[in-house]
Amino acid sequence: MAYDSAATKDRILAAASAEFAAYGVAGARVDRIAAAAEANKRAIYDYFGDKKALFAAVLERLMTELAEAVPPADDADLGAYAGALFEYHRAHPEALRLLLWEALEMGDEPVPEEATRTRHYLDKVAAAETALAGGGDDPKALLFFTMGLVGWSLSMPQLRRMVLGEDYSLDRLGAQVSAAVRAMAGERRDRPASSD
């Protein structure tokens, strides 16, 4: 049977994603990634370089999958975008963990592929501008706050439990996040038509 390098790369990325989500970059072990991917360590270094480069490849894949799964909304309903983002992260908790590890380990330093990832957010900023057409003046802040509400709500289960109570469902929380984003945006659909 012929060697399938694309399949091997996919297995390595999947194994690395799980390893980095569990241990971060510093705690991740290449030998565990190789074993989980059923590949040898040499293949990891040949395809991706060092461990930091592998982490960058994992994040690039994550951002691509996230952008495809939750594109910026074409309409002005940024609350719907927040709800879709909430559900994506709820179904894929490793994505938030990877971003949190990146923040913990890189701090304020530039992250891998930062310029490319920054451009990725420009479409979302444009969607936030559309949402703010009826009021407000800072679409970048609105997008940042939207992402913060989603991320914080899902990445802090202990605070969620202590503040909201053990019986506060994620379905209810997701709806509240969407409502909060709509309130921040002052979305036009909730306002009476202007008499101008």
Got the DSSP string for 74-113? SSS-HHHHHHHHHHHHHH-HHHHHHHHHHHHHHTTSPPTT
Mean pLDDT, residues 63-91:
86
- The mean predicted confidence, pLDDT, of the chain is 87
Residue 196 has pLDDT above 50, yes or no: no
pLDDT at res. 122:
82
Residue 188 confidence (pLDDT) above 70: no
Task: Specify the amino acid at residue 31.
Answer: D
From residue 183, give the alpha-carbon distance in Å to each of 35, 162, 187: 48, 25, 7
Predicted confidence (pLDDT) per residue in 147-181, tens digit:
999 999 999 999 999 999 999 999 999 999 999 99
Q: How far apart are the C-alpha atoms of 61 and 63, rounded to whole Å?
A: 6
Per the CB < 8 A criterion, the answer to whether 19 and 32 are in contact is yes
